Amino acid sequence: MGNRFEDDDREGLRDRKRRGWGMGLYRNRSRGWLGGVCAGLADHWDVATWIVRLGALALLIFTGSIAFWAYLAGWFLLAPKPTRWDDGATQYEVAMEYDENAHTYRKRKVFTYSEAPSERLRKARARLDAAMQRVETMERYVTSRRYDLNREFSKL
């Protein structure tokens, strides 16, 4: 019989496993062949599943039983990816990052890098210059005689 602290540690590990170890790392049983470990790693790394499977096969050939034991460890350490039909399925926090090109947030991926800071700064300056041109155009219109004329016509 374990003491209270060991029970808390086990429960904390189970919770971390259920949450994907805080990185969104799960086994993907729907796309997996054997246990979904390779498919889950492919989802996490944002690469094609066949690449991870090929790497696992190469590791198995070159390292022998080490790759087999690592796959088994992944099978036991990674929780199955939760689906919306699971009982008590809850959404866990996943690290997000801002995508400058799409102007929206996306899940942070391991092998997806953002642009260089100089390129991001260049794009920000271009957007700021375009906004300044629009403001200057509006100022010219509001201070022109045409604006006064259009305002008078709208009152009729």
Q: Are strands 104-107 and 96-99 parallel, antiparallel or unpaired?
A: antiparallel
Residue (of 82, 78, 34) closest to 57 by Cα position: 34
Write out the two tokens for 150.
Answer: 């259009």
pLDDT digits (tens, 9 = 90+) for 53-103: 899 889 889 987 888 888 888 887 787 776 665 555 455 556 677 777 777
Percent of the chain with pLDDT over 70: 68
Band (pLDDT 50/70/90 cuts) for residue 128 is: very high
Write out the two tokens for 34.
Answer: 């054997």
Domain ranges of the chain: 4-107, 117-155
What integer pLDDT is reported at residue 139 of this predicted model? 93
Write out the two tokens for 151.
Answer: 């305002």
Mean pLDDT in the chain?
Answer: 77
- The DSSP letter of residue 93 is P
Backbone angles phi, psi at 17, to 5 degrees: -65, -45
Residue (of 119, 94, 92, 114) closest to 102 by Cα position: 114
Neighbours of 120 (CB within 10 A): 13
What integer pLDDT is reported at residue 31 of this predicted model? 73
